[in-house]
Amino acid sequence: ALTIGIVGLPNVGKSTLFNALTRNQVLAANYPFATIEPNVGVVPLPDPRLDRLAEIFGSARILPATVSFVDIAGIVRGASEGEGLGNQFLANIREAQAIAQVIRVFDDPDVVHVEGKVDPRSDMETIHTELILADLQTLEKALPRVEKEVKIKKREAAELAALQAAQAVLERGETIFAAAASGELDLEHLRELNLLTAKPFIYVFNADDSVLGDPAKQEELRAMVAPADCVFLDAKLEADLVELSEEEAREMLEMNGQKESGLDQLARVGFHTLGLQTYLTAGPKEARAWTINQGDTAPQAAGVIHSDFQRGFIKAEVVSFADLSEAGSMAEAKARGKVRIEGKDYVMADGDVVEFRFNV
């Protein structure tokens, strides 16, 4: 399953945020496919299109796409020295497809900061450094082996060069992700090493009102982590929100000047960072969003519902959500010529409303 690993220094609010994530999952109880594990929080991806589809088709229930977060405890300054980052930590973080780093920007004299003061840049760099050191160890182990294999022509010289380029990036204290984003590094030959800093990063600024109400301060922090995405939230408020009814939660958010909860934002940004998109199906039973990769074809999309659908794929009846919503019914969308028949080479677009035809 696609998951985002949550990391951060001690006392930045990881547990608080994670409790909100898991509590949220208990509330959103109708996830038949989500295995509930103690260190995984499954968050529904907010999608108002599903409400509209349920209205059009009279669907009995709504099933949004989900994003999974794993709590990866155990990173502190110096963690990669000595015995190295814990094995369990490394195993968990390697499995994640993206890394969400929680950074403290809230001021609270009662909550001790491990580094003595609230300093987002320094916290970010501390975590980067530990992950970079872990990656350097991975590269140092891999390099002699790859060198040998190049000599005996089992590998291309370009593969060795890619590893050396990665090593140079890490040695000057940069992440592989940042170097790839700027076009300096090509990830192609690095993939099999599963380097930690090659994963996409998201930054979660655990903030208080002073930051949440200060767009200029947010811009400053956003620029600090660019090109990575970031989210501003108040972990304590998020933990309170999940205890409330939907109605009460909305009022509380409004009182805080926010339109959307931090968890909703996190799900959205996480989904985007993972390179995912959704297509939609609807009928009287349910209106549902299905998760696919950007660039997936119609048969691949069908395979997410069932592997038989992919194998026996014949064609897909597709209408964009916007066209269907405007038409107000499938019959009217058809009458307007908005429903297309697509074949096996069709590349799915986000928000396609689909019905598959297949052989069983």
Q: Give the residue numbers of the binding site for ATP.
A: 11-16
The answer to the question of residue 208 lying near ligand GDP (CB under 6 A) is yes
The answer to the question of residue 77 lying near ligand GDP (CB under 6 A) is no
Please, what is the minimum distance in Å from the beta carbon of residue 207 to ligand GDP? 7
The answer to the question of residue 71 lying near ligand GDP (CB under 6 A) is no
Give the three-state DSSP class for 50. Answer: helix
Using alpha carbons, select from 104, 134, 108 the residue that is nearest to residue 119: 104
Instruction: Single out the residue of 106, 205, 321, 346 in contact with ligand GDP (rule: CB under 6 A).
Output: 106
The answer to the question of residue 15 lying near ligand GDP (CB under 6 A) is yes
The answer to the question of residue 21 lying near ligand GDP (CB under 6 A) is no
Distance CA 314, CA 61 (A): 28
Distance CA 86, CA 254 (A): 42
Nearer Cβ to ligand GDP, position 118 or 136?
118
Nearer Cβ to ligand GDP, position 11 or 218?
11
User: What is the end-to-end Cα distance of the chain in Å, rounded?
Assistant: 26
| Residue indicated by tokens 């030959």 | 189
Task: Give the interface segment with ligand GDP, choosing from 11-19, 58-66, 169-177, 319-327 (CB under 6 A).
Answer: 11-19
Q: Say if residue 227 is preceded by a cis peptide, omega within 30 of 0.
A: yes
The answer to the question of residue 8 lying near ligand GDP (CB under 6 A) is yes
Q: Are 49 and 291 in contact (CB under 8 A)?
A: no
Please, what is the minimum distance in Å from the beta carbon of residue 108 to ligand GDP? 4
Residue 347 CB neighbour total at 10 angstroms:
12
Nearer Cβ to ligand GDP, position 88 or 182?
88
Instruction: List, as own/partner pairs, every contact residues 331-336 make where C-beta atoms lie below 8 angstroms and the sequence separation is at least 24, other chains included.
Output: none
Q: Site size for ligand GDP, by CB under 6 A?
A: 16
String marking each residue 213-242 x if it binds ligand GDP according to CB under 6 A: ---------------------xxx------
Residue 360: Cβ-neighbour burial (10 angstroms; 0-12, 13-18, 19+): exposed
Cite the annotated binding site by residue number.
Answer: 11-16
Distance CA 237, CA 262 (A): 9
Instruction: Single out the residue of 26, 27, 91, 111 in contact with ligand GDP (rule: CB under 6 A).
Output: 111
The answer to the question of residue 129 lying near ligand GDP (CB under 6 A) is no
Distance CA 158, CA 183 (A): 16
Please, what is the minimum distance in Å from the beta carbon of residue 171 to ligand GDP? 29
Nearer Cβ to ligand GDP, position 65 or 233?
233
Distance CA 233, CA 203 (A): 11
Applying CB under 6 A, the residues found at the interface with ligand GDP are 8, 10-16, 106, 108, 111, 206, 208, 234-236
